[in-house]
Amino acid sequence: MILTILISVTIILLYLKMRRTYKYWKNLNVIYLRPWPLFGYMAPSVLRLKAFPLILQKVYNVFPEQRYFGAFQFGTPVLFIRCPKMIKKILGDDFETFPDRRSIMDADLDPIWAKNLHAMPGGDQWRNKRSTLSLGFGDENLEKTFESMKTCAKNLAYFFLERNSESVELVDATSKFANDVIASAVFGVACDSLQNRRNEFYSMSKHITEFNLLRLFKLFGYSVSPRLMKFFRFKIIEERTSRFYSGIVQDRCSKEDNHLVSFFANNGIGNDNKDHLDEAIAQGIHFFVSGYETVSIGLSFVLYELAINNDIQLKLRKEVDSLMEACKDVSYAHVLHLDYLDMVVSESLRKWPPTVLIDRKSVRSFTIDAEQIWDTTTTFKENTLCLIPIFAIHRDKKYYPNPDEFVPERFSSTNRDNIVPNTYMPFGFGPRNCIGSQFALLEIKTAVLYLVHEFEIVCTPKTKHPVKLSRTGFQLSPAGGLWVGLKARRTPETL
């Protein structure tokens, strides 16, 4: 009886809070999307009625003439930004007003997560840390890690050779490739997850990137009632995850080598001081969470598009074969100068951006002036959360004619300048863009180079066209995977 009363009271209080919250945009006289109870615009995703990227696209298209509009993400008012000029201001020109990403975790409750570059507020401490970590992803360090990427790319090619002409699922295979590159380049740990999928590093990477009901509950809880979640001490980074990475970081920071944790140690991150050690652990976990799925999904869709667009594959192979015939050993510089490869990868990241949505939070009030006859000048409060729907913008026919078609020539040296500024952002842009974007691009390009040289990538009876996106999670993910066939062009000895 008492439990029933408590549950009833909780539901009533939650309803009253939501009712008050859902008047937020109306009170500001901002056009807004009518919310579903409790979930806001997220309801079709939470209820698994529609894939999250497609929900964003549908929401984005509700107000085609608006530069911005309001919505509700669970119980949080959010401001969707549609206008490229406003995107430029939020991500770049007015960075001092929008320096932060959304914080969903209290630093006292989860101090390790709070130390990663993604979660840190954008003040002086973040700026200094970003400056230091950026050096680790500069040309010098990328060139050092390129050998690790080549080894992992060759392992991926061997894996496909063993399954010559069979249907293979790309996301599963490329996730192991991404795991092994990060393990080797960032932590100095050699893995071959394609042959040993039960290795501890791969098991942990699957665990920390898995989107399950518990993580959905945490996201919902922190969006609706952060205090309640803090009271029950729900963490993002679990103890076993912290212990795993702590042991690796402490071990690797004591060694002199070319890996990124060694770079951290040489730059005051991850030394014997506990705060610095926690920092190195936080950055390592962040690189795994960010890089693992970005590369896996990004690479998988490149290979899928090559399978269903054979003319593009043939043109790319001609460029790749010319390089391979001229060079006994492919270098970092060689990959950077493959123009058509860059066009193919760029177009795939336009059509299939692994990050479908980015956010920025204001640290002070700001005003959006009226520009259109139906506009009003509006001042927004501090802590306003702005959302930029990358997937929807990349699919807007106003910016990309025939957006569902795969056209690498959009990114040729001649046509690239015709792209409307601030409408292509697979890694974001501005001071807070993805710090590892060049690392991720190099991974994807290296794998594509070796696979296109060694295989014909073909459709099989399992290849689905068009792709159906998964209704689970809040990122880009194909339902049932991406299936293609890879026919060997040469013998294994040539690798």
For residue range 444-487, what is the model confidence (pLDDT) as tens digits?
999 999 999 999 999 999 999 999 999 988 889 999 999 999 99
Confidence of residue 261 (pLDDT cuts 50, 70, 90): low
Query: Which one-letter DSSP state was computed for residue 94?
Result: T
Confidence of residue 216 (pLDDT cuts 50, 70, 90): low
Mean pLDDT of 249-260: 67
For residue range 18-27, what is the model confidence (pLDDT) as tens digits?
667 788 999 9
Q: Could you tell me the residue ranges of all domains in the chain?
A: 2-494
For residue range 343-379, what is the model confidence (pLDDT) as tens digits?
999 999 999 999 999 999 999 999 999 987 778 899 9
Which burial class, exposed, middle or buried, applies to 115 when counting CB atoms under 10 A from its CB (0-12, 13-18, 19+)? Answer: buried
Mean pLDDT of 81-110: 88
pLDDT of residue 268 exceeding 70: no
Strands 167-169 and 358-361: unpaired
For residue range 148-181, what is the model confidence (pLDDT) as tens digits?
999 999 999 999 998 876 899 999 999 999 999 9
For residue 327, say whether it is annotated as part of any ligand binding site: no
- DSSP letters of 192-246? -TTT-TTSHHHHHHHHHH---HHHHHHHHHHHH-HHHHHHTT--SS-HHHHHHHH
pLDDT of residue 91 exceeding 90: yes
Q: How many CA atoms lie within 13 A of 305 on its CB side?
A: 25
Q: Which CATH number fits domain 2-494: 1.25.10.10, 1.10.1040.20, 1.10.630.10, 1.10.10.10?
A: 1.10.630.10
